[in-house]
């Protein structure tokens, strides 16, 4: 009801369709939409889907988007015919109501199965079953024509789709009901026979899925209703479409006389839905909109660079889904009439005074002149350090000039390649900062883990009251943190200095969360990271804590203090 309550255009169009459709039903469409059982009975489902799809088309047009091409899937083809001018609203309502009523009257017991295989392979399987090459006791014969099983819609710039239900009452019969893609086929027939097809498909490694339908649509089980349906269709008036359309019965563009022929709509009940062929005709169309209850058909659009969006998605907010689809179309070049969408809304005047603002970007210090890329090489030459020079070039110190010159050329080439690659890669840049002045700490600071670097003494020298807590499993550590006496100013974890730094640090963070502390948490490592080639990490295993710590900081910024890597030997500057 989201679209109905939010957009008057949709509500008016739906009410107009309902006025005509309800003349053929025994209850209002609103009652059908509110009843989970009724909505799955094809006698009610088809008129309801028709009303929703026609109303979605009206909503799309109200936003200034007119489809260049229409294509309908099953019941959706009737909605496409109506908005294309082939049928008046009254005649379309008569057609769709009779279609649903007559299908509903067919015996139950039919089923539909989606099969993840090519059409030719599926037809070969059905033919082998019909010829007795695959036996199953009661199987006698089978057909290779068929039907579809989808309950949405899709199209050129706009696609209208549909849903249905099915019937039974024949001897064994299975037909191809729809060809939705290169490896997406739906078969339809008697329930027991469909079960057997599913078993044989599984033996061949094909994925299958039973569709929730009431009857076996687009199969020979529909044939008992065709004569009466033909009589209804003969009383209706048909015109030529006023917009380009593609038939999913033929899989080709609709030519003059095709949709205006009443017999087409009778055959449409029985023949398979050739949606894949219709999509192939639309090669080159770049924007698709699905007008239906879900995004089933939009997912079938596989054209490169094509955008396919549904106006509705099952179990998602209707208004948000529709507006998201509209925004997607807009950013992909579709012209939208925003004044229609925001009709009655007045622009907000900006204040005449300047906004108060404060800059929060970190201020960078003036950069020192950067030495040339080969400055280090010339510095070694100037100092006469030929041992390091030979190591840099990868040659023996006693090598002749004949060997050094090629090595020098190779060194410069490698330098240029590294420089180019460095511009493509993410890397951490360490910035030197001035030494801080004396910092006075107040309150209680909790130090978790063994303290081999003398950090407790450093904190105490700055005025902090330090409480030491040993590392332990999560539950024990959490209980210790809950029992702390008085408020805590900060928590410093040395768990990364233990034998299993990542696991111990994880236990600290989990225990911290369990204890519901609010003080900032710091994770300390020792020789875990490098600031350059000359600063090899002393304990690379502790570097795991830095990746873990960044994740903690993103997920829990409310208590995150930061990461601190200490030198192997705690010097005066680090302690400060």
> What per-residue confidence (pLDDT) applies to 46?
96
Residue 362 lies in a domain: no
140-154, 236-250, 337-351, 383-397: lowest mean pLDDT where?
140-154
Residue 367 lies in a domain: no
Task: Provide the pLDDT confidence category of residue 278 given band limits of 50, 70 and 90.
Answer: very high
Question: Domain check: are 335 and 297 in the same one?
Answer: yes
Where on the phi/psi map is residue 570: left (φ > 0), alpha (ψ -120 to 50), or beta? beta
Say which DSSP state 555 is in.
H
Q: Which structural domain, as residue segments, surrounds residue 501?
A: 444-575
Quick check: 135 pLDDT over 90? no
CATH number of the domain that residue 74 is part of: 3.40.366.10
Question: Domain check: are 448 and 570 in the same one?
Answer: yes
Question: Domain check: are 99 and 118 in the same one?
Answer: no
Question: Domain check: are 139 and 229 in the same one?
Answer: no
> What per-residue confidence (pLDDT) applies to 128?
86
Could you give the CA distance from residue 232 to residue 224 in angstroms, rounded to a whole number?
14
> What per-residue confidence (pLDDT) applies to 574?
65
Quick check: 232 pLDDT over 80? yes
Could you give the CA distance from residue 152 to residue 120 in angstroms, rounded to a whole number?
25
Out of 177, 195, 223, a domain closes at 223
Question: Domain check: are 517 and 569 in the same one?
Answer: yes
* 506-524 mean pLDDT: 91
Question: Domain check: are 230 and 218 in the same one?
Answer: no
Output the CA–CA distances (angstroms, integers) from residue 238 to 75, 227, 235, in the order listed: 17, 19, 10
Quick check: 396 pLDDT over 90? no
> What per-residue confidence (pLDDT) applies to 524?
92
> What per-residue confidence (pLDDT) applies to 141?
27
Quick check: 86 pLDDT over 80? yes
Quick check: 367 pLDDT over 70? no
Quick check: 125 pLDDT over 60? yes
Quick check: 150 pLDDT over 60? no
Most confident of 124-138, 432-446, 451-465, 503-517: 503-517
Residue 358 lies in a domain: no
* 254-282 mean pLDDT: 95
Could you give the CA distance from residue 515 to residue 357 in angstroms, rounded to a whole number?
38
Tokens of 267: 């055959």
Summarize pLDDT for 319-360 with one digit per residue, the tens.
999 999 999 999 999 999 998 998 888 888 877 877 777 888
Contact at 8 Å (CB) between 293 and 314? yes
Residue 353 lies in a domain: no
Summarize pLDDT for 163-203 with one digit per residue, the tens.
443 333 345 579 999 999 999 999 999 999 999 999 999 99
Task: Provide the pLDDT confidence category of residue 302 given band limits of 50, 70 and 90.
Answer: confident
**3-class SS letters over 391-405:** HHHCCCCCCCHHHHH
Question: Domain check: are 179 and 245 in the same one?
Answer: no
**3-class SS letters over 496-507:** HHCCCHHHHHHH
Number of structural domains, the chain?
4
Could you give the CA distance from residue 171 to residue 423 in angstroms, rounded to a whole number?
70
> What per-residue confidence (pLDDT) applies to 421?
59
Question: Domain check: are 567 and 455 in the same one?
Answer: yes
Quick check: 408 pLDDT over 90? no
8-12, 306-310, 388-392: lowest mean pLDDT where?
388-392
Residue 311 lies in a domain: yes
Task: Provide the pLDDT confidence category of residue 271 given band limits of 50, 70 and 90.
Answer: very high
Residue 365 lies in a domain: no
Question: Domain check: are 457 and 531 in the same one?
Answer: yes
CATH number of the domain that residue 208 is part of: 3.30.70.250
Task: Provide the CA 80 distance to its chain's centre, in angstroms.
Answer: 28
* 220-233 mean pLDDT: 96
Question: Domain check: are 531 and 393 in the same one?
Answer: no
Quick check: 402 pLDDT over 60? no
Q: How far does the chain reach from its first CA to its final CA, in angstroms?
A: 64
CATH number of the domain that residue 449 is part of: 3.40.50.11460
> What per-residue confidence (pLDDT) applies to 15?
96
Question: Domain check: are 401 and 540 in the same one?
Answer: no
Quick check: 263 pLDDT over 90? yes
Out of 195, 223, 251, a domain closes at 223
Contact at 8 Å (CB) between 297 and 73? yes
Residue 361 lies in a domain: no
Out of 389, 422, 455, a domain closes at 422
Question: Domain check: are 325 and 182 in the same one?
Answer: no
Sheet holding 465-469, edge to edge: 465-469, 444-448, 490-493, 521-526, 560-566
Residue 316 lies in a domain: yes
Could you give the CA distance from residue 70 to residue 95 in angstroms, rounded to a whole number?
19
Summarize pLDDT for 16-28 with one digit per residue, the tens.
999 999 999 999 9
> What per-residue confidence (pLDDT) applies to 269?
97
């Amino acid at each position: 009801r989201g679209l109905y309550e939010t957009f008057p255009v949709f509500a008016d169009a739906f009410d107009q369709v309902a006025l005509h459709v309800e003349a053929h039903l025994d209850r209002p469409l609103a009652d059908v939409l509110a009843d989970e059982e009724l909505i799955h009975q094809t006698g009610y489902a088809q008129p309801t889907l028709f009303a929703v799809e026609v109303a979605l088309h009206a909503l799309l047009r109200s936003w200034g988007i007119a489809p260049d091409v229409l294509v309908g899937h099953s019941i959706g083809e009737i909605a496409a015919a109506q908005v294309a001018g082939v049928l008046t609203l009254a005649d379309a309502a008569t057609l769709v109501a009779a279609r649903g009523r007559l299908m509903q009257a067919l015996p139950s017991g039919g089923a539909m199965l989606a099969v993840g295989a090519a059409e030719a392979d599926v037809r070969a399987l059905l033919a082998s079953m019909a010829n007795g090459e695959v036996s199953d006791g009661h199987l006698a014969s089978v057909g290779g024509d068929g039907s579809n099983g989808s309950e949405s819609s899709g199209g050129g710039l706009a696609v209208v789709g549909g849903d249905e239900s099915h019937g039974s009452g024949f001897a064994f019969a299975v037909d191809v009901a729809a060809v939705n893609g290169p490896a997406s086929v739906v078969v339809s027939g008697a329930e027991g026979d469909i079960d057997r097809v599913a078993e044989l498909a599984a033996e061949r490694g094909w994925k299958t899925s039973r569709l929730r339908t009431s009857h076996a649509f687009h199969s020979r089980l529909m044939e008992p209703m065709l004569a009466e349906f033909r009589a209804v269709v003969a009383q209706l008036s048909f015109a030529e479409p006023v917009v380009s359309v593609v038939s999913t019965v033929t899989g080709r563009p609709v030519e003059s006389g095709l949709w205006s022929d009443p017999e087409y709509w009778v055959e449409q009940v029985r023949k398979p839905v050739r949606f894949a062929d219709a999509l192939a005709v639309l090669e080159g169309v770049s924007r698709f909109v699905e007008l239906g209850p879900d995004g089933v058909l939009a997912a079938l659009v596989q054209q490169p660079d094509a955008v396919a969006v549904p106006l509705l998605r099952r179990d998602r907010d209707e208004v948000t889904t529709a507006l998201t689809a509209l925004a997607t179309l807009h950013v992909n070049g579709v012209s939208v009439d925003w004044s229609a969408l925001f009709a009655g809304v007045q622009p907000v005047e900006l204040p005449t005074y300047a906004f108060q603002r404060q800059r929060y970007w970190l201020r960078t210090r003036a950069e020192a002149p950067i030495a040339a890329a080969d400055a280090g090489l010339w510095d070694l030459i100037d100092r006469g350090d030929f041992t390091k020079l030979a190591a840099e070039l990868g040659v023996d110190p006693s090598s002749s000039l004949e060997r050094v010159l090629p090595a020098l050329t190779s060194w410069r080439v490698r330098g240029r390649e590294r420089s180019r690659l460095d511009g493509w890669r993410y890397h951490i840049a360490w910035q030197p900062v001035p030494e801080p002045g004396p910092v006075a700490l107040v309150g209680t600071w909790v130090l978790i883990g063994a303290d081999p670097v003398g950090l407790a003494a450093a904190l105490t020298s700055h005025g902090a009251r330090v409480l030491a807590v040993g590392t332990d499993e999560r539950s024990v550590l959490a209980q210790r943190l809950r029992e702390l006496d008085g408020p805590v100013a900060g928590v410093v974890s040395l768990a990364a200095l233990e034998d299993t730094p990542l696991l111990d640090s994880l236990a600290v963070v989990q225990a911290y969360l369990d204890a519901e502390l609010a003080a900032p948490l710091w994770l300390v490592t020792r020789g875990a990271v490098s600031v350059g080639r000359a600063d090899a990490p002393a304990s690379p295993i502790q570097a795991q804590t830095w990746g873990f710590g960044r994740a903690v900081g993103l997920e829990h910024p409310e208590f995150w203090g930061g990461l601190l890597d200490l030198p192997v030997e705690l010097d005066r500057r680090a302690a400060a």
